[in-house]
C-alpha cells in the first residue's frame, strides 16, 4: 500500500524513490512485523487466557509436558496478524505472487483455527478428523498450485541444486506435485511444533533463506549470474518472507522456553504452507527440503515409527516425532530445541551455498 501511495511522490521529493526498492520495503515490513508482535503479544496472550484457550496435554506424551497444561494456544493468530498487515502495508499489491501467498496462508490458518477451536474451546481433543483436515489442506493447496501454474510466470519444471543445467519438465503434473509440497510442508511444521520454539526457529531460518532466494529469482541480472531461473515478480515475495521471519522472531519472544503461548495449528499449518508456496513459485522445492531439513526429519521420524510399529510391532524411536525421542533419552527440552535450531542454521548456510556452487 505504501508503495502505491508514496512511490509516485518521488517525482517531487526524491526521498520517496526509496519505496521502489524491494530491499527497503522488506526491511520496513520486517521491522513492522517484529514491533507488531512485541506490542500486541502481551495483550493477545491475556485475551487467550481470558478466553481460556489453554492447551490440553495428552497423558501418553513425555511427563515433562504435563506442566504445560493450560498454556494459552492459538498464538498463531498473532503471527498471522504480523505477517498479513506488514505485507499489505509494504508490498506491491499489484503483484500476483503476494496475493497467492497471502490468501493461501490465511486459508491454511483458517483450517488450523477450526481444528484448534474444536480442540480447545469445544474440548474435543481430536479437533477436526485427520481426513477432514487433510482434505481441506489438499483443496487449498490444489487451488494455490493451479493459480501459480496459470500465472505462467513460474515455469512448470523441477530444478535441481548444484545441477544448474538440469530441470525436469512437469507440465500440468506441476499442479499435483506443488499440491503435495504445500500439504507436506504444512503438516511437517505441524508435527515439529511440539517443543517451545522448536517450529519457530527453523521457520525463521528457512523464511530468511527464501527471502534471499526469492529476491535473486526475481532479479534478472542476479538470476542470470547465478544461473537460476528468472521468475518475473518473484522478488516481491522477499517482502512476504521478511514478514514471516520477523513475525516468527517476534512470536519467539513469547514462545521461547518456558513458553507463555503456543502457536496452535492456526500457526503451524499456515507457516508450513507459506514456506512451501514461496518455494514452489521460485522453483526451489528441493532447496525447501534441504533448508527445512528439521521439518523433513520430524516428518520422516513419524513415518518410520508408524511403519516400523505396524510392520514389526517395534518402535525405531522411544517416541515420535524425534524431538520426543531425545526428551525421553534425558535431554532437557531447551537442549533439544537449541540443537535443532543449530542444525537449521547449518542447513540454511548450505542452502545458500548452492547459489554459487555449480
* Contacting residues toward ligand 57M, per CB under 6 A: 55, 57-58, 60-61, 65, 68, 73, 190-191, 193-196, 255, 259, 262-265, 268, 302, 305-306, 315, 319-321, 324
Q: Minimal distance in Å, beta carbon 187 to ligand 57M?
A: 9
Cα–Cα distance measured from residue 13 to residue 307, given in angstroms and rounded to the nearest whole number: 64
With vertex at residue 293, the alpha carbon angle to CA 209 and CA 228, rounded to the nearest 5 degrees, is: 45
Between residues 88 and 338, which has the closer beta carbon with respect to ligand 57M? Answer: 338
The residue at minimum Cβ distance from ligand 57M is: 61
Number of H helices, E strands in the chain: 14, 2
Closest distance to ligand 57M from the beta carbon of 58 (Å): 4
The SS3 call for residue 168 is strand
Contact 289, 296 (CB under 8 A): yes
> In Å, how far are 219, 255, 328, 341 from 336, measured between CA atoms?
38, 15, 11, 9
CB of 292 to ligand 57M, least distance (A): 16
Nearest to 182 by CA among 302, 79, 296, 274: 274
Report the C-alpha gap between 127 and 112 in whole angstroms.
Answer: 10
Please state the closest distance from residue 231 (CB atom) to ligand 57M, in A. 31
Identify whether the C-beta of residue 214 lies closer than 8 Å to the C-beta of residue 277. no
Report in angstroms how near the CB of residue 67 gets to ligand 57M at its nearest.
Answer: 9
CB of 192 to ligand 57M, least distance (A): 8
The minimum distance between CB 179 and ligand 57M, in angstroms, equals 21
Alpha carbon distances (Å) from 40 to 45, 54, 75, 82, 204: 9, 19, 11, 9, 20
CB nearer to ligand 57M: pick between 61 and 334: 61
Nearest to 339 by CA among 213, 201, 154, 165: 201
Q: Which is nearer to ligand 57M, 2 or 302 (CB)?
A: 302
Beta carbon nearer to ligand 57M, 64 or 94? 64
Largest CA distance in the chain: 74
By beta-carbon proximity to ligand 57M, the closer residue of 268 and 344 is: 268
> Rounded to whole angstroms, how far apart are CA atoms 174 and 180?
10
- Is the CB of 205 or the CB of 255 nearer to ligand 57M? 255
Least distance to ligand 57M, CB of residue 326, Å: 13
CB within 8 Å of 41: residues ≥ 6 apart: 78, 250, 251, 253, 254, 261
Shortest Å, Cβ 188 to ligand 57M: 10
In degrees to the nearest 10, what's the CA dihedral of 24, 25, 28, 32? -170
Closest to ligand 57M by CB, 192 or 284:
192
CA distance 269 to 62: 23
How many Å from the N-terminal Cα to the C-terminal Cα in the chain?
A: 39
Cβ proximity to ligand 57M, 72 vs 218, nearer residue: 72
Q: For ligand 57M, which is the closer residue by CB, 8 or 42?
A: 42
Amino acid at each position: 500500500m505504501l508503495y502505491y501511495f508514496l512511490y509516485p511522490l518521488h517525482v517531487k521529493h526524491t526521498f520517496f524513490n526509496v519505496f521502489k526498492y524491494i530491499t527497503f520495503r522488506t526491511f520496513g515490513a520486517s521491522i513492522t512485523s517484529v514491533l507488531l508482535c512485541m506490542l500486541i503479544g502481551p495483550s493477545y496472550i491475556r485475551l487467550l487466557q481470558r478466553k481460556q484457550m489453554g492447551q490440553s496435554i495428552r497423558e501418553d506424551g513425555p511427563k515433562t509436558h504435563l506442566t504445560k497444561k493450560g498454556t494459552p494456544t492459538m498464538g498463531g493468530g498473532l503471527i498471522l496478524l504480523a505477517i498479513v498487515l506488514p505485507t499489505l502495508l509494504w508490498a506491491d499489491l499489484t503483484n500476483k505472487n503476494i496475493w497467492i501467498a497471502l490468501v493461501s496462508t490465511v486459508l491454511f490458518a483458517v483450517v488450523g483455527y477450526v481444528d484448534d477451536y474444536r480442540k480447545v474451546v469445544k474440548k474435543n481433543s481430536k479437533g477436526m478428523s485427520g481426513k477432514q483436515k487433510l482434505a481441506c489442506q489438499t483443496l487449498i493447496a490444489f487451488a494455490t498450485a493451479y493459480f501459480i501454474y496459470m500465472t505462467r510466470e513460474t515455469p512448470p519444471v523441477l530444478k535441481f541444486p548444484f545441477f544448474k543445467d538440469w530441470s525436469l519438465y512437469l507440465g500440468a503434473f506441476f499442479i499435483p506435485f506443488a499440491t503435495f509440497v504445500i500439504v507436506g510442508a504444512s503438516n511437517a511444521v505441524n508435527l515439529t511444533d511440539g517443543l517451545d520454539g522448536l517450529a519457530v526457529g527453523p521457520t525463521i531460518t528457512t523464511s530468511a533463506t527464501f527471502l534471499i532466494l526469492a529476491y535473486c529469482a526475481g532479479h534478472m541480472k542476479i538470476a542470470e549470474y547465478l544461473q537460476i531461473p528468472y521468475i518475473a515478480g518473484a522478488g516481491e515475495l522477499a517482502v512476504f518472507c521478511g514478514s514471516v521471519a520477523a513475525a516468527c522472531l517476534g512470536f519467539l519472544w513469547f514462545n521461547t522456553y518456558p513458553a507463555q503461548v503456543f502457536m496452535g495449528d492456526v500457526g503451524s499449518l499456515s507457516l508450513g504452507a507459506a514456506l512451501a508456496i514461496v518455494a514452489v513459485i521460485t522453483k526451489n522445492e528441493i532447496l525447501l527440503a534441504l533448508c527445512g531439513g528439521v521439518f523433513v526429519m520430524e516428518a520422516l521420524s513419524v513415518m518410520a515409527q508408524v511403519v516400523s510399529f505396524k510392520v514389526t510391532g517395534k518402535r525405531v524411536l522411544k517416541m515420535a516425532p524425534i524431538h520426543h525421542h531425545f526428551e525421553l533419552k534425558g535431554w532437557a527440552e531447551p537442549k533439544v530445541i537449541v540443537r535443532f535450531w543449530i542444525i537449521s542454521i547449518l542447513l540454511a548456510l548450505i542452502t545458500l551455498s548452492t547459489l554459487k556452487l555449480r
